[in-house]
Each structure stands twice: as C-alpha cells, then as structure tokens.
Amino acid sequence: MQLFDPFDDLAGKAPRSSGSSSTGGLGIGLRWHSVEAAHLDSRVVSCPDPEALPPSLRGLLAADGAGGLARAFDPGELLPDWQAARMVTVPGGFFRRTQGRSRVEPRAGRFYPGPFLEGAPGLPPGTPTAFRVISIAADGEITVDFNHPLAGLPVDLELRLLDLSPPVEPPANVGRAAVTNGPGMQARWRGQRTDFGQGDSFARADDGPDADFYATPRMVQHIDDTTRARIARLYRALLPEAGDVLDLMSSWTSHLDPAASALRVAGLGMNAEELAANPILRERVVHDLNLEPRLPWPDARFDAVICTVSVEYLVRPVEVFREVRRVLRPGGRFVITFSNRWFPPKAIGPWAELHEFERMGLALEFFLEAGDFGALNTWSLRGLPRPPEDPYAGRLATSDPVYAIWGQAM
C-alpha cells in the first residue's frame, strides 16, 4: 500500500506565496518500524503557507505543491534521541494507584500520565507528560521510561497538500505534530510483551448475555461518513479484488467499497435482522463468539477476514484470532479497524483506560499471542474534517479517527 493511499483522492495545491492564507489541509505521514511490525501514522492539519515550513520539510513539497516525497530522519533529528537519564527506578509506593473512584495497577509495557508518579525521587527535570512502565520488581520497585516512544528510532516523513475545507487541526509545529499524542505507543518496548492483562481483566461492565444486549436490531452508523469512506478505501487496498471474505462481528453494513461486487462475503454477527438487511452478504450466520470462539467454517475457507469497530467486545480474543487464522488461506489477510466510539457496557475492561494508540497495541498483541500471522502492520488516520451534515459537526471539528491492524496468515 502506498504511503498516502488514503489521501490520493484529496490531493490538491496550496498557495505558494508567503503570508497567504490557506483553506486546504496538510497531510502528514509518519512511517516507522518496531521489532514486531511496520507502522504508518497519518494526520491532517491546517495547511500553513508552504514557504513558512522549516527548510528540512519544505523540500518534501514538489514545485506544484502536490508533495509526496519522503525524507528519512535519523534518531535524534525529528525528536530528541533516547536518553538513559530519562529511564528511572522508583519505589512502588509512589505510583498513585487511586485515581478518583478507580484503582489502577502498573503493568509492564503500559503508558501512564506523568502525575501518576508526582513526587517520586529521581524523575527527569521538567514536567514529563507520560511514562512507560518497563518492569516491576518483586519488592515493588518500578522502572519507567520517560523517553518519547519513538526515541532512538529512524522515521520517514512525507507531506502532501490536500484539497480540504476547514476546520481541521491547527498545524502548530508540523514536525512535532507528526510524532505527538500517540505514535509509538502501539509498539512493544524493545520487543518485550506488553501486559494488557488477561482473564478477569477482560470482563465487561455488563456481563449479562450478549444475546440479550443485541436482541434489538440497531440500524445505525457508529462512525461518521468520512471515517466509513476511509475504512472502505483501506479495505479496497488490502483485500483481493475477488474471493471469499468473512465479515467478522458483522451487522447491517460491512463497510466495504460498493465496487467490491466480485467478493463473496459471509457475515457472522449477533442479530439476524441486521444481517438480513446487509445487501452485500451472500451467507449469514448468527453466532456468539464470546460463548463459543470456534468459527463454523472449515480450515482455509476464506481469502480475507475483516472486523470493523468490534474487536473491543471480544472476551476471548486470542482464541478468536487463532480461529481466524485457521479459516484463512495461506497469505490471506486479517484486517481490524476501529475508532474512538463503542458501547461502554460491552467493551472489555482495559479498553476505556487505554490511550487510543495503545488500543492498536492491544490488538497487535492478540495477533502476536495467536501466532502464525506475519507481515504485521498498524495504521492510523486522524484530523480529517467532520462532515457538515454529521450530528456532531457543531461540537467536533474533526472526523472520527481510524485505527487499523492487519496481518497475513503464514
């Protein structure tokens, strides 16, 4: 997939003269690699005057303003390099486990706000905004890392001018915008497993039968029009042009491109009326994966599997991922997408407390624990304008973000 594939239909030009105002957008693509996966984080901000960009970034925009050239930044160029002094060990008693009415326990690999360690000895100067727990000793001592999660890694940056109407996120510092508020948090720390919990930690606020919760059909959209269109474009890029596809945890819409008529789509969901209303489905199965993770299909049945805005409801996710691998043909992709909206009573315990980028890390962990998946990728897209007709347009300027994780059956 091309670095800026989600922006291909939005490419435009911005004013080139200094001091001119712009109504367009600037697409920022950040590509990097961790031990376990390849990552692409895309973000849209308001377009500054291109001539006002730092020289290190201005060259990424072609003479006609189209952009699309990538530049590789070595560690320490785009953000401070990793510093040993920002990795400290503190007594466990300084971790503030009581947060309002909630009890929070530190877990290795997880991120927490800086104030959780306020007053602890040996913290780096300034006011660190967040830290990552690296390890917890038997005596309770906690080793934490205050470095940026991308510190020490080379990254590739690409800019593209977009034909958009405001409002979108202000640019501030374009280079900083590319790496702030999330990128890097989805990866393990130096390849070590992230402890997201298991067993009871995947319980829900509403542990009643899912069949009761989903008994009434919900013929509503859970993400806005722009986000649905971006997900459809991503699926079009990742799925085969023809073949057998399983829409896991399906509903009355499969979020596939309408042009994907050559795909033979089977849908597995919780409500028969919703599945019956989905015109793209050729096969419909009502099945509760939380009661029985096994999928009712033979081995190597599908060329691809998708799961849209639903992975957060699985209480036995690794078992389901192993089943997905079983029904996938070799080389077939399993693609998961979600946003920042969900049914709180039915989401697994960690979901609400995780940073949005950590949720990608949780889904990535499911792939890794399930095994037999390769070519793992995470992908994010934030900052596109919210559709003016959307019911939240008066309160939210930007569209619902898109987060995606996928892997190939080995």
Nearest-angstrom CA–CA distance, 402 and 6: 11
Contacts of 261 (CB under 8 A, 6+ apart): none
In this prediction, residues 32-50 reach a mean pLDDT of 89
> Long-range contact list for 380-383, CB < 8 A, 24+ apart?
380/40, 380/41, 380/42, 380/43, 380/182, 380/183, 380/404, 381/6, 381/42, 381/43, 381/44, 381/230, 382/42, 382/43, 382/44, 382/169, 383/25, 383/43, 383/44, 383/45, 383/168, 383/169
CA dihedral defined by 228, 229, 232, 238, rounded to 10 degrees?
Answer: -120
Q: According to the model, what pLDDT value does residue 64 have? A: 56
Helix or strand run (H / E) with residue 318: helix 317-327
For the chain, what percent of residues have pLDDT higher than 70?
Answer: 91
- Give the Cβ contact number of residue 388 at 10 Å: 8
- For the chain, what is the mean pLDDT? 90
Q: Residue 378 gets which letter from DSSP?
A: E
Please say whether the beta carbons of 285 and 267 come within 8 A.
yes
Fold of 199-409: Rossmann fold (3.40.50)
Tens of pLDDT, residue by residue over 161-209, are 887 776 577 766 888 889 999 999 999 999 999 999 877 778 898 999 9
Q: How confident is the model at residue 54 (pLDDT cuts 50, 70, 90)?
A: confident
Q: According to the model, what pLDDT value does residue 12 have? A: 61
One-letter amino acid of 170: P
Q: How confident is the model at residue 22 (pLDDT cuts 50, 70, 90)?
A: very low
In this prediction, residues 55-64 reach a mean pLDDT of 72
Tens of pLDDT, residue by residue over 273-301, are 999 999 999 999 999 999 999 999 999 99
Q: Residue 118 gets which letter from DSSP?
A: T
Tokens of 321: 């991922």
Q: How confident is the model at residue 16 (pLDDT cuts 50, 70, 90)?
A: very low
CA distances from 26 to 68, 165, 200 (A): 11, 11, 44
Residue predicted with more confidence, 72 or 61: 72
Of 60-69, 119-128, 326-335, which has the strongest mean pLDDT? 326-335
Terminal Cα-to-Cα distance of the chain (whole angstroms): 19
Please say whether the beta carbons of 320 and 312 come within 8 A.
no
Q: According to the model, what pLDDT value does residue 157 have? A: 92
Nearest-angstrom CA–CA distance, 408 and 332: 5
Tokens of 140: 């309770």
Place of tokens 């405001």: 166
In this prediction, residues 334-363 reach a mean pLDDT of 95
Place of tokens 């934490």: 144
Quick check: helix, strand or coil at residue 56? helix
Q: Residue 401 gets which letter from DSSP?
A: P
In this prediction, residues 144-170 reach a mean pLDDT of 87
Nearest-angstrom CA–CA distance, 328 and 331: 8
Torsions phi, psi for 133 (to 5 deg): -75, 125
CA dihedral defined by 169, 131, 342, 99, rounded to 10 degrees?
Answer: -120
Nearest-angstrom CA–CA distance, 112 and 100: 15
> Long-range contact list for 5-10, CB < 8 A, 24+ apart?
5/233, 5/234, 5/237, 6/42, 6/230, 6/233, 6/234, 6/381, 7/42, 7/160, 7/162, 9/233, 10/162, 10/163, 10/164
For the chain, what percent of residues have pLDDT higher than 90?
Answer: 70
Helix or strand run (H / E) with residue 319: helix 317-327
**Domain extents in the chain:** 5-79+154-175, 84-145, 199-409
Q: According to the model, what pLDDT value does residue 10 have? A: 75
Please say whether the beta carbons of 131 and 145 come within 8 A.
yes
Contacts of 357 (CB under 8 A, 6+ apart): 182, 183, 184, 185, 186, 380, 403
